[in-house]
Structure 1
Amino acid sequence: MDYREFFSRFRYLSERPGIGGRIKVFPEDFVVVEEPLPQIFEGGKHAVFLLKKRNWETMAAVKEIAKRAEIRHSDIGFAGTKDRHAVTYQYISVPARAREKVEGVQIRDIELRFVSYGKFIKLGYLVGNRFRIIVRDVNGEAFERTREIVGELREKGGFPNYFGYQRFGERRVTNHLIGKLLLQGDFEGAARLFLGAHEGEMEGDEARRRFWETGDVDRALEEFPNFLRYERAMLHRYKETGSWKRAFLGLPLPIMRIFIHSYQSYLFNLYISRRIEEGLPLNEALVGDIVVQVKGGIPYRDRTYRVTETNVDFVNEKIRKNQAMVSGPLFGFAMRRARGLPGRLEGEILEGEGLSPEDFKRLPKQMAEPGGRRELLIRPLGLTYGYVPGQGMCLRFFLPKGVYATSVLREIMKDH
């Protein structure tokens, strides 16, 4: 199953036909510019650089820069990962002593410019990202269709805030399934899927297929390519311990947590889709909803309050003024749960999966997930669009951190 088939289960909010087309035909068609927190420029222990990269994954770029500058890649800080098949601008920090070496680094399709001294940049140290995106292979009706879709969604409060396909795996859409197996305590099943899921076209897929069919760990270690380093590390760990649980726990923490976060994202997407399907509004709070506070167009997901019969009119006035947004569940053991109709829907989704909030606490300590809330709608700031002859539709907008440009494009293109 590819990501298009996977996403076909989630409802569109707009009812008008999309423009179709293709994105990321060329890296220059997808430009991302990071807007960092101003605090990263305070202090003097680290040198802050603006990193421009083309066709590089963030982590791969960081490791190559570290190698050339002769520093540890863990000494390089960055606020978030960016698309690979794109041209992206983001800030990185390196130890101040390494400034000159980093300035001297020359890597194809990577540019580094010293900006100032500041602090170590941690994940999440950003406000959001600005996008300039070209949608190619569209016809002359694209502008008018885009105008109609954007107008319809403005009336409905915004674009549905689905997690994008990057969260689940573009080629092997399995991350969420592995997360569910881990929540169910089936570490062997999760390992089998992580190691054995294949599409049959890429290097290593034949070895994955054989492991899926045989479960032969020794043969897998002989056949799995070296670039499958996490898979090989898991196989070695299993040989040492005889435990698939310990094999999973031997992976780096960010890798382990990807699977649980992916499953949370799947359930969140399912919640939005079910709410659309049942005709429950995304831009109007119902009694029992949990809403998040909004300031300057940026949602503060840690500032939530419950909607009651006595405050529902007040809350909906806040929503109309873009000072609050209705939220959906990122399921976890400490998540603030909705009540009323929204709460019933949350409960039905978990029950349909055969899970309870406590299951997120029964995970090994490293994976236990408290959960949280996330706004149901995307309200792109400064959205503009136009048809460029010979190229296609060009869209520009700003999104807060953690929000996916591909989910904005999905409603406009209707391609998956």
Structure 2
Amino acid sequence: MDYREFFSQFKHLSEKPGIGGKIKVFPEDFIVVEEPLPQIFKGKRYAIFLLKKRNWDTMAVIKEIAKRAGISHREIGFAGTKDKHAVTYQYISVPAEIKEKVDAIQIRDVELRFVSYGKFIKLGHLIGNRFMIIVRNVGVNAFERTKEIIRELREKGGFPNYFGYQRFGEKRVVNHIIGKLLLQGKFEEAARLFLGYADGSMEGDEARRNFWETGNVERALEEFPRFLRYERTLLYTYRKTRSWRRAFLSLPMPILRIFIHSYQSYLFNLYLSRRIEELPLNEPLVGDIVVQVKGGIPYRDRTYRVTETNINFVREKIRTGQAMVSGPLFGFSVRKAKGLPGELEEEILEEEGITLETFKKLPKPMAEPGGRRELLIRPMGLIYGYLSEKGMCFRFFLPKGVYATSLLREIMKDH
């Protein structure tokens, strides 16, 4: 199953036909510019560089810079991962004493420019991202169709804030399933899927299929390519401990958390899709949890419940762009909705055979408290138009954690 098939289960909010087309035909078709928090530039212990990369995975380029600078990749800070098949600009922090070394690094399709001194950049140290995206091979009347879709979505309060396909795996769309199996304590089944699932288009797929059929760990260690380092770590640890649980815990914590976050994201997307079908998104209901918004930026840690007493007040806040209805990022201490929204949350958990306590039973570093996320998002500064014979060009700004591909999905209707 590829990501298009996977995403077809999630409803579009816009009912009008899309413009079709393709994104990321060339890396230059997808440009991302990070808007950092101003606080990162306060301090002297770290040197802040602007990193421009083309066709590089964020973690891969961070590791390459670290290797050439002679430091651990953990000493390099960055605010968030960026798309690989794109041209992206983001800020990184390195220890001040190696500024000259980093200045001298030359890597193909990578540029590093010293900006200033500051503090260590942590995940989440950004306001959002600016995008310039070209959609090629669009259908006829693409401009007029775009205009109609955007008008329709503005009337409905914004774009559905789905987690994008990057969260689940573009080719091997299994991260969320592995996450669910880990939550359920089914470590052997999770390992079989992580190691053995092949989509038929990637190097190492034959080795994966062999493991899927035989479960032979020794053979897998011989056949799995070296670049599948996390898979090989899992196999080595299992051979040593004969425990798939211990094998998973030998992986770096960020990798383990990807699986859990992916399953949380899947449940959120399910909730959002069901809400499009059954309940309003831009109209607060008694029992809803609402996220505060300032200057178009949602503050997901500032929430309040809709009651019969304050519903008119909340309705006005939503109308003036100062609040948004939220959906659940399920976890052991998530603030649950009540009323009809709460019933929908419970239905999804029951259908999945999961309870909130399940998120607490994970090994401690993986335990997920959960949170809330706005159901709709309003891109800022959205402009669009034809770009000669290339197709349509879109420019906009999105707060952190919001996927440009989900916004374009409503316009393109490609999946």
> Would the TM-score normalized by the shorter structure come out above 0.5?
yes
Q: How far off its partner does 1:226 sit?
A: 0.4
Aligned residue in 2 for 1:95: 95
Q: Give the AA of the match of 2:283.
A: E
Aligned residue in 1 for 2:283: 284
Q: Residues of 2 paired with 1:269 and 1:87: CA distance?
A: 27
Q: Residues of 2 paired with 1:32 and 1:151: CA distance?
A: 25
What secondary structure sits across from 1:43 in the alignment? coil
| Cα distance per residue 1:259-298 (max 9 Å; x no partner) | 11100100000001001111x1111110000001001110
Q: Residues of 2 paired with 1:180 and 1:63: CA distance?
A: 29
What does 1:31-42 align with in structure 2 at a 5 Å threshold?
31-42=31-42
Q: Give the AA of the match of 2:319.
A: R
Aligned residue in 2 for 1:71: 71
Aligned residue in 1 for 2:336: 337
1:53 aligns with 2:37: no
- Percent sequence identity over aligned pairs: 79
Q: Residues of 2 paired with 1:355 and 1:139: CA distance?
A: 43
Q: How far off its partner does 1:367 sit?
A: 1.4
Q: Residues of 2 paired with 1:367 and 1:42: CA distance?
A: 31
Aligned residue in 1 for 2:355: 356
1:378 aligns with 2:377: yes
What does 1:1-400 align with in structure 2 at a 5 Å threshold?
1-278=1-278, 280-400=279-399
Q: Residues of 2 paired with 1:82 and 1:166: CA distance?
A: 10
Q: Residues of 2 paired with 1:46 and 1:302: CA distance?
A: 28
Query: Could you tell me the TM-score, scaled by structure 1's length?
Result: 0.99
| Cα distance per residue 1:279-321 (max 9 Å; x no partner) | x111111000000100111000000100001101100100001
Q: Residues of 1 paired with 2:221 and 2:237: CA distance?
A: 11
Q: Give the AA of the match of 1:332.
A: G
Q: How far off its partner does 1:400 sit?
A: 0.5
Q: Residues of 2 paired with 1:65 and 1:244: CA distance?
A: 33
| Cα distance per residue 1:27-56 (max 9 Å; x no partner) | 000000000000000001111111111111
Q: Residues of 1 paired with 2:138 and 2:363: CA distance?
A: 49
What secondary structure sits across from 1:366 in the alignment? helix
Aligned residue in 1 for 2:412: 413
What secondary structure sits across from 1:347 in the alignment? helix
* Contact 2:82 2:88 survives alignment (8 Å): yes
Q: Residues of 2 paired with 1:85 and 1:356: CA distance?
A: 37
- The alignment yields a C-alpha RMSD, in angstroms, of 0.7
Q: Residues of 2 paired with 1:70 and 1:233: CA distance?
A: 23
Q: Residues of 2 paired with 1:72 and 1:346: CA distance?
A: 42
Q: How far off its partner does 1:201 sit?
A: 2.4
Query: Could you tell me the TM-score, scaled by structure 2's length?
Result: 0.99
Q: Residues of 1 paired with 2:342 and 2:410: CA distance?
A: 27
Q: Residues of 2 paired with 1:376 and 1:163: CA distance?
A: 10
* Contact 2:19 2:140 survives alignment (8 Å): no
Q: Give the AA of the match of 1:123.
A: L
Q: Residues of 2 paired with 1:74 and 1:335: CA distance?
A: 30
Q: Residues of 2 paired with 1:106 and 1:260: CA distance?
A: 36
Q: Give the AA of the match of 1:204.
A: G
Q: Residues of 2 paired with 1:366 and 1:45: CA distance?
A: 28
What secondary structure sits across from 1:393 in the alignment? strand
